Chains A and B, each alone.
Chain A
Amino acid sequence: MINRFAELLVYNLMGLDSATRLGSSVHFFFYDTIKIIFLLSVMIFVISIIRSYFPPEKTKLLLSKRKKVTGNILASLLGVVTPFCSCSSVPIFIGFVESGIPLGITFSFLITSPIVNQVALVMLFSLFGWQIASIYLLSGILVGIIGGLVIGKLGLEDQVEEYVYQIQAGETKVEELSWEKRISYAKAQVTEIVSRVWKYVIIGIGIGAFIHGYAPADLLSQYAGADNPLAVIAAVGIGIPLYANVVGTIPIAQALIGKGVAIGTALSFMMATTALSIPAMIILRKVIKPKLLTVFVTVVGVSIIGVGYMFNFLVNII
């Protein structure tokens, strides 16, 4: 239906020819923009309802009883469903550490949470289908488990800023939510997120549409295809400083894959933009010392690169 509408708009109303580069680029642009904004609204609503059942206080309680690997697995899974924006990562970090949750488990949560970003999942689902979206979800959880386990093993508790251990977190009641409140929360989330990300979606799809119509496929597949062993590392290196465009990078990645860039390489790129952004590092620096921050970036970076290679390898077998 959306496709018909986009065709009507571009080929009939705007009078562009579907066989030309311009025509196909413009069609791609309208089709994807409408589809993504629509899906975003619907899915953020559903996800927000689910998330309203997992306030961080509940997560904290669940995690404070675990110590070993199961703790990392649980933390990573809860990272998917517990809602929080990046400005809350400091109080969550302090709250977890203060309640005795081991550092490694805290990091499993903090790594997965931004990687498995609801907007990223929706975009992946709408542009690549549920298979890729599920694999992305599983890889994100895996990176969180591994990253947290490694950080836990390194014994870096002294690399947390001293004041964190001194804070006495207060206790508050968890608000009982009625269905009415959950729905109004979900609606507010849709409005907030869509009004924040729509510009990036349009910019990303715009660039994606350009690549779709104009970029030389031979060149890209030569440099970033499955045969280039260094492509994944380069993609992660480029992805880290690109935080603001996390939403915009997905349509670009899709167009690049269409031009022969390997899927694992593109996925690593997306994960790097979400998990290791400069603003997130600046926020984390408030609670952890530079050495732990460096360990965090290295461990997560290496895990993401690993996932990228694993993915490229799996795709080759299939």
Chain B
Amino acid sequence: MEIRIYGPGCRNCVNLTKNAKKALEQTGVEAEIIKVEDMQDIIEAGIMTTPAIGIDGEVKIKGRVANVEEIIDLIKANN
């Protein structure tokens, strides 16, 4: 599994990354977390408000910091 965190590196993106790591620990799923910080890449992914999180190439939640439970649900749904 591949988790992408989109955002230019502001505080919200850092928090989202933390939540994603916690969600992975709790589910025990092996996944790679990739940070997408380049604005052009973020826009080409179709994102207008950061932070956003995507799993296996599909953007799932944008414009807010998803909490740990939500990310766990996403991981389970895609695993």
Contact = CB atoms under 8 A, between A and B. Distances in A.
Interface of A: 55-57, 60, 83-85, 87-88, 90-92, 94-95, 98, 163, 167-172, 175, 181, 184-185, 188-189, 192, 286
Contacts of B48: 56-57, 60, 84, 88, 91-92, 95, 169
Contacts of A94: 39, 43
A172 B50 CA distance: 13
Interface residues of B, number: 24
A278 to B, nearest CB: 16
Contacts of A91: 39, 42-43, 47-50
Sorted from nearest, which 9 A-B pairs have the closest CB atoms?
Answer: A170-B46, A172-B46, A87-B10, A56-B48, A88-B49, A95-B48, A172-B59, A91-B48, A171-B46
B33 interface: no
A171 B40 CA distance: 14
Given A56-B49, A168-B44, A184 B62 contact: no
A170 B46 CA distance: 4
A60 B47 CA distance: 12
Contacts of B29: none
B13 to A, nearest CB: 8
Given A87-B50, A88-B50, A188-B67, A167 B43 contact: yes
Nearest to B50: A88
A91 B62 CA distance: 12
A119 B4 CA distance: 31
Given A172-B59, A184-B67, A286 B49 contact: no
B65 interface: yes
23 contacts: A56-B48, A56-B49, A84-B49, A85-B10, A91-B42, A91-B48, A91-B50, A92-B48, A94-B39, A163-B40, A167-B40, A167-B43, A168-B44, A169-B46, A169-B48, A170-B46, A175-B60, A175-B61, A185-B64, A188-B64, A188-B67, A192-B65, A286-B39
Contacts of B64: 185, 188-189
Given A85-B12, A169-B44, A170-B43, A92 B62 contact: no
Contacts of A95: 43, 48
A189 B45 CA distance: 25
A88 B60 CA distance: 17
Given A60-B48, A185-B64, A90 B59 contact: no
A79 to B, nearest CB: 14
Nearest to B13: A87
Contacts of B39: 90-91, 94, 286
Interface in B27-63: 39-40, 42-50, 59-63
Given A175-B61, A185-B64, A188-B65, A87 B47 contact: no
Contacts of A98: 43
Most buried by B among A95, A169, A171: A169
